[in-house]
Amino acid sequence: MENLINRFVKYAKIYTTSDEDSTTTPSTERQKNLGEILVEDLKEIGVENAYMNDNGYVYGFISANTEKMCNTIGFISHMDTAPAACGENVKPQIHENYNGEDIILNKEKNIVLSMKEFPYLKNQIGKTLITSDGTTLLGADDKAGIAEIIEAIKHIVEHKEIEHGPIAIGFTPDEEVGRGADLFDVKKFNAHFAYTIDGGHLGELEYENFNAAGAIVNITGKSVHPGSAKDILINATTVAMEFHSLIPEDEVPEKTDGYDGFYMITDFKGGIEGATLKYIIRDFDLSNLQRRKDLLKNIGDRINEKYKKEVVKVEVKDEYYNMKKVIEPVMHVVELAKKSMIEAGVTPNIIPIRGGTDGAKLSYMGLPTPNIFTGGVNFHGIYEYVSVEDMVKAKETIINIIKNDAISHEEIK
């Protein structure tokens, strides 16, 4: 457990926030700083052919040690942290034997991780938790996944008596800005299937995710002196508020769960002459996603009709799709993960991802890739934490997947 803690803390301290406005890959060069370290760490544990390419993708491969016909299994996590919260100067704090009381993250700023606000903490009593100091996110999403993969592979390499097929390892940049799989070399990875180790709570196993789109709404106003503005002035900020008011008020993240879709405004900039709104649109059902996209365009048309000119321009772009369609024909990949969790003493909790992972795009690129828990909670914010005991269970699950595939040597047809 100590090795897992030390490895995770080491990675968490490295600044790797991605940038959604960047057009380069990786979106931030700082992600390569972690990539270089991961290559060295993989080589240190016996993955001699580990390398990082120019775009910041880290790959490593281990040959089979058995003549059995086994699948090549991939394990993937991402190196970047979300731009939603500060990821620089992360100072991990270790809280042993959590007793159920509030955890003071930052006394000076009165930042507290409380069970009242975060009731899942009741499941963590007695465990060792790692948090930030309350001024940054922690980075368990997804540096916990990276640490778990490397520690699991280290175990496999050190225990040569464990029969296994070929293993592929991949660490991606820019997952948090939706581009982690864009330049992933599926052909060179050469796996029959893979798992992203990028989930949250203990036992999570996911092969459904949102269909996703993004929308940019640009509004053009007309500025004149307010003293003579009647029937002439078009205040772009006012139009922006009108546009947003026409979106169903209950179809937002804070009022939805389960299989509910939503609209979410992520950015607003505006003045009198111009305004821009940015939205993400999510739904598990592709036809419902189309309905949501159409609604935004129809709102724009209605406002333009009102002003008798193109005041509003709505641009919508699909981002990724629900991997369920790709995974269902190869459900033994999910069954393998379930069996491996149970053998690790973990109850599988199959739920839809209310978000996306690299696995969504990878599945449509020909690499079926469900998602497995890391033990991290409250991602993308200062209240993020990870349970070390749950990280251990994720590591054991990875090891069991490798073992069980060698035992069953079932092939994807």
Q: Does 306 fall in a domain?
A: yes
pLDDT value at 408 more than 90: no
Was 176 annotated as part of a binding site? yes
Q: Is 142 a catalytic residue?
A: no
pLDDT value at 2 more than 50: yes
- Indicate whether 269 and 233 sit together in one domain: yes
pLDDT digits (tens, 9 = 90+) for 56-102: 999 999 999 998 889 999 999 999 999 999 999 999 999 999 999 99
- Indicate whether 232 and 130 sit together in one domain: no
Was 305 annotated as part of a binding site? no
Q: Does 22 fall in a domain?
A: yes
pLDDT digits (tens, 9 = 90+) for 163-204: 999 999 999 999 999 899 999 999 999 999 999 999 999 999
Q: Does 108 fall in a domain?
A: yes
Total number of domains constituting the chain: 2
Indicate the pLDDT class of residue 259, thresholds 50, 70 and 90.
very high
What domain range includes position 42? Answer: 2-208+322-408
| Contact of 381 with 90, CB cutoff 8 Å | no
- Indicate whether 133 and 112 sit together in one domain: yes
- Indicate whether 342 and 301 sit together in one domain: no
Alpha carbon distances (Å) from 331 to 204, 321, 358, 405: 16, 18, 19, 14
pLDDT digits (tens, 9 = 90+) for 282-317: 999 999 999 999 999 999 999 999 999 999 999 999
Report the pLDDT value the prediction gives residue 265, as an integer from 0 to 100. Answer: 97
Indicate the pLDDT class of residue 406, thresholds 50, 70 and 90.
confident
Q: Does 245 fall in a domain?
A: yes
pLDDT digits (tens, 9 = 90+) for 355-371: 878 999 999 999 999 99
Report the pLDDT value the prediction gives residue 409, as an integer from 0 to 100. Answer: 59
- Indicate whether 360 and 399 sit together in one domain: yes
Q: Which of 261, 291, 320 is the last residue of a domain?
A: 320
Q: Does 336 fall in a domain?
A: yes
Was 159 annotated as part of a binding site? no
pLDDT value at 104 more than 70: yes
Q: Does 413 fall in a domain?
A: no
Q: What is the pTM of this model?
A: 0.89
Q: Which of 296, 320, 344 is the last residue of a domain?
A: 320
- Indicate whether 100 and 176 sit together in one domain: yes
Domain CATH number, residue 14: 3.40.630.10
| Mean pLDDT taken over the chain | 95
Was 21 annotated as part of a binding site? no
pLDDT digits (tens, 9 = 90+) for 227-236: 989 988 999 9
- Indicate whether 219 and 348 sit together in one domain: no
Residue among 80, 133, 251, 384 flagged as catalytic: 80
- Indicate whether 71 and 97 sit together in one domain: yes
For the CA atoms of 396, 402, 404, 406, the dihedral, rounded to the nearest 10 degrees, stands at -150
- Indicate whether 179 and 249 sit together in one domain: no
Q: Does 253 fall in a domain?
A: yes
- Indicate whether 274 and 215 sit together in one domain: yes
- Indicate whether 285 and 339 sit together in one domain: no
Domain CATH number, residue 294: 3.30.70.360
pLDDT digits (tens, 9 = 90+) for 261-282: 999 999 999 999 999 999 999 9
- Indicate whether 404 and 293 sit together in one domain: no
Q: Is 343 a catalytic residue?
A: no
pLDDT digits (tens, 9 = 90+) for 8-56: 999 999 999 999 899 999 999 999 999 999 999 999 999 989 999 999 9
Q: Which of 320, 349, 371 is the last residue of a domain?
A: 320
Q: Does 131 fall in a domain?
A: yes
User: Three-state SS string across the chain, please?
Assistant: CHHHHHHHHHHHCCCCECCCCCCCCCCCCHHHHHHHHHHHHHHHCCCCCCEECCCCCEEEEECCCCCCCCCCEEEEEECCECCCCCCCCCCCEEECCCCCCCEEEECCCCEEECCCCCHHHHHHCCCCEEECCCCCCCCHHHHHHHHHHHHHHHHHHHCCCCCCCCEEEEEECCHHHCCCCCCCCHHHHCCCEEEEECCCCCCEEECCECEEEEEEEEEECECCCHHHCCCCCECHHHHHHHHHHCCCCCCCHHHCCCCCCEEEEEEEEECCCEEEEEEEEEECCHHHHHHHHHHHHHHHHHHHHHHCCCCEEEEEEEEECCCHHHHHHHCHHHHHHHHHHHHCCCCCEECCECCCCHHHHHHHCCCCCCEECCCEECCCCCCCEEEHHHHHHHHHHHHHHHHHHHHHCCCCC
Residue among 41, 175, 208, 358 flagged as catalytic: 175
pLDDT value at 224 more than 90: no
Indicate the pLDDT class of residue 413, thresholds 50, 70 and 90.
very low
Was 198 annotated as part of a binding site? yes
